[in-house]
Structure 1
Amino acid sequence: MIQMISYDLKKPGQDYETLIKEIKALGSSWCHALKSTWLVETVKSADQVRATLKARMDANDLILVVNVTGDNYSGYLDEEVVAWLRTHM
């Protein structure tokens, strides 16, 4: 399944490299679709993904994880993101 991860990181200048590494490690394939939005092909549920990532975030940061498995999507995106979507959704 494909999980869409979107977040707001509240503290400027914070190093979130660990969070990004954790996102990339969640599944077999990932795509950094927008500035704070990732798509990850994973066997984990939205709740499992949220719990895993929240442990790497500050207490005031926000996160949304949504299962977007399927072929119904629309957007204006970079070509590499469109190619990833065509391959994985």
Structure 2
Amino acid sequence: MTVKSLLVGYDLNRPGQDYDSLIKELKEFRTYWRHLDSTWIVRTEKTATQVRDVLMRHIDSSDELLVVELTGNGAWAGFSPRGSKWLKDNLL
């Protein structure tokens, strides 16, 4: 299988929601990037659907979750040199 980069974004809509189990699950991916509060990029052989299904176990029905495969093209600003290097190495 081919390793790809997937963008994961979420909004947990219930006040006082506990992100701990969701964040722990995202950190299970061997390679991940998180420089924005609720936006991650993970490197995996899993499909976007498979990642969505795993993460849905850690959110409520009122929450929103987005998982999309990245194409390799991107632009960004304001990140540390380390964050920018990760993006260049894993997206382009």
Partner of 2:53: 51
Report SS of the residue matched to 1:75: coil
- The reply on whether 1:73 has 2:87 as its aligned counterpart is no
In the alignment, which of 9, 15, 19 is matched to residue 16 of structure 1? 19
Provide the aligned length of Structure 1 versus Structure 2.
87
User: Shift in Å at residue 28 of structure 1?
Assistant: 2.1
The AA in structure 2 aligned to 1:67 is E
TM-score, normalization by structure 2: 0.87
SS of the equivalent of 2:54 reads helix
**Structure 2: 5+ residue stretches without partners:** none
Aligned-residue Cα RMSD (Å) equals 1.2
| Identity %, equivalent residues | 40
**Cα separation, 2, equivalents of 1:53 and 1:69:** 22
Residue 6 (structure 1) aligns with: 9
Q: Which runs of 4+ in 1 moved over 4 A?
A: none
1:41 shift after superposition? 0.5
